[in-house]
Amino acid sequence: MARNTQVAADHDAPPITAILARFVATHPTRGWDDAVDHEAHRTFLNWAGCAVGAASHEAMRAALAAVQMLEPAPQASVLGRPEKVDMAGAALLNGISSHTFDFDDTHLKTIIHPAGPVASAALALAEHRGASGRALIDALVLGIDVSCRMGNLMYPEHYDRGWHITGSTGTLGAAAACARLLGLDEARTAMALGIAASQPVGLREQFGSMTKPLHPGAAARAGLLSALLASRGFTASSRALEAPRGFAQVVSTKCAWHEATDELGRRFEISFNTYKPFACGIVIHPSIDACVQLREQGVTADQVERIELKVHSLVLELTGRKEPADGLQGKFSVYHGCAAGLLFGRAGEPEYADGIVTRADVVALRRKVVATVDDSIDEASADVTAVLRDGRRVHVFVEHAIGSLQRPMTDAALDAKFAAQAEPVLGTAPTAALIAACHRLATIADVRELTALARP
């Protein structure tokens, strides 16, 4: 394998369980610069919008019905739904909904979706305890730092082997965030991480089933329970992450220990978080982005003779479906993505509805897309030329798609993405109020003010 698979023997393993526990327990509140705090708010907002947007998906209905078999106490909110359930159930359910449309955040270095496990666990606990928004943001930053650093330590070997890294590292991040919210000391935070280490969640084989979004939910639930146990004196190995039969060495042959500790407390992994503007795999994003730009330049569908698309071979390998028959297949069609971008100027979940993917004008336009492979073009780029009926050629080259680290979505674009997901669930005015609450989360005295706004 060409990728880095550095392996350290056990005697090289620093005591990362203790180091990370000390960091989580003792790092000062808002102990980072404003950009980090701002990114944490963006991460939370994007996560919450995805959770509200999928609140009525059949996966959520099934999972909620299962949780209700436990007759849970109404401790915490299921975002976008009227029901309240116990903290463990809320962590599970919000973790599921936030990942259902695969529209949540991505830590590109590890392809972890970090908010799903961490925010779902932390919000459930914070809501039940009436914690402050400041405490919740702190927990989010620290929890995501733990899960993404553990991901850096093991990626790519751990992922290549078949672990859904979002869930397997997510239990740790969720436990860290909840330990912080509970105010656990170093020793008990280490126990929380240790208990969580025994509960990694997620197999890549589940991709395409409801169990994929279950992974961040189950990780959130297990991480929350780990912190609750530690808070009551339950014990684990104090070397659970690094020991020879501990977490990292059992689930990965790559253990780059330094990733856990390099610049700890100075570099925050949440800074590298990204958000999807389009509700499909990232490999299609540059092509959609290019077609949105064509539309912004005045190109309309009825002018188009054909669309010449040049992309890296990987794009067609993964998303080369020419005639998608429904919404799910549409997510694996760069042709549909281009049509949606040009026709609608966006490709959110509504543009992947069955009725849209099969609509006559959409089908007609996607059939005008002529894709060719050009491996001199980066996977993260796309070269698109609209050839118009009048003979004009309009060319757009996208080096980095909107939503990438190089061209992050603006706050306004994140708000629009949130609104598109949440308005059908909550209505326009409540959605605007919830967006505003997410932006000022750190100043909210009691997060129940925010969760109340997420209830229809």
* Site of interaction with a copy of itself (CB under 8 A): 58-59, 61-63, 65-66, 69-73, 75, 86-88, 161-164, 167, 194-195, 197-206, 208-211, 214-215, 218, 222, 225, 228-229, 231-237, 239-240, 243-247, 249-250
Tokens of 402: 């909107």
Of 201 and 299, which CB lies nearer to a copy of itself in the complex structure? 201
- SS3 at position 370: strand
Angle made by CA atoms 395, 396, 400, in degrees to the nearest 5: 160
Token pair recorded at residue 413: 């674009």
In the bound complex, what is the minimum distance in angstroms from residue 210's beta carbon to a copy of itself? 5
- Kindly state the helix (H) or strand (E) to which residue 249 belongs, with its residue range: helix 247-251
Q: Residue 152 or 171: which CB sits closer to a copy of itself? A: 171
Q: Whose Cβ is closer to a copy of itself: residue 219's or residue 334's?
A: 219
Comparing CB distances to a copy of itself, the nearer of 119 and 192 is: 192
**Minimal distance in Å, beta carbon 159 to a copy of itself?**
10
CB of 122 to a copy of itself, least distance (A): 15
**Shortest distance, position 182 Cβ to a copy of itself, whole Å:** 10
CA distance 271 to 43: 10
Asked whether 387 and 308 are in contact (CB, 8 A), the reply is yes
* Nearer of residues 201 and 309 to a copy of itself, judged by Cβ: 201
Q: Alpha-carbon torsion 169, 174, 175, 179, what sign?
A: positive
Instruction: Identify which of residues 198 and 261 has a Cβ nearer to a copy of itself in the complex.
Output: 198
- Where b means 16+ CB within 10 Å and e means fewer, 323-335 reads ebeebebbbbbbb
* Rounded CA separation 294/69 (Å): 51
Q: What count of other Cβ atoms lies within 10 Å of the Cβ of residue 28? A: 8
Q: How far is the CB of 246 from a copy of itself (least distance, A)?
A: 4
Rounded to an integer, what distance in angstroms lies between the CA atom of residue 219 and that of residue 113? 12
Question: 401 with 347: CB under 8 angstroms?
Answer: no
To the nearest whole angstrom, how small is the minimum distance from the Cβ of residue 218 to a copy of itself? 6
Tell me how far, at minimum, the Cβ of 149 lies from a copy of itself, in Å.
19
Amino acid at 255: C
Instruction: Give me the residue label for tokens 């991505």.
Output: 106
DSSP 407: S
Closest contact distance (angstroms) between CB of 398 and a copy of itself is 31
Tokens of 179: 């330990």
Tell me whether residue 173 or residue 194 sits nearer to a copy of itself (CB atom). Answer: 194
Nearer to a copy of itself, 235 or 406 (CB): 235
Residues 321 and 319: their CA atoms lie apart, in Å, by: 6
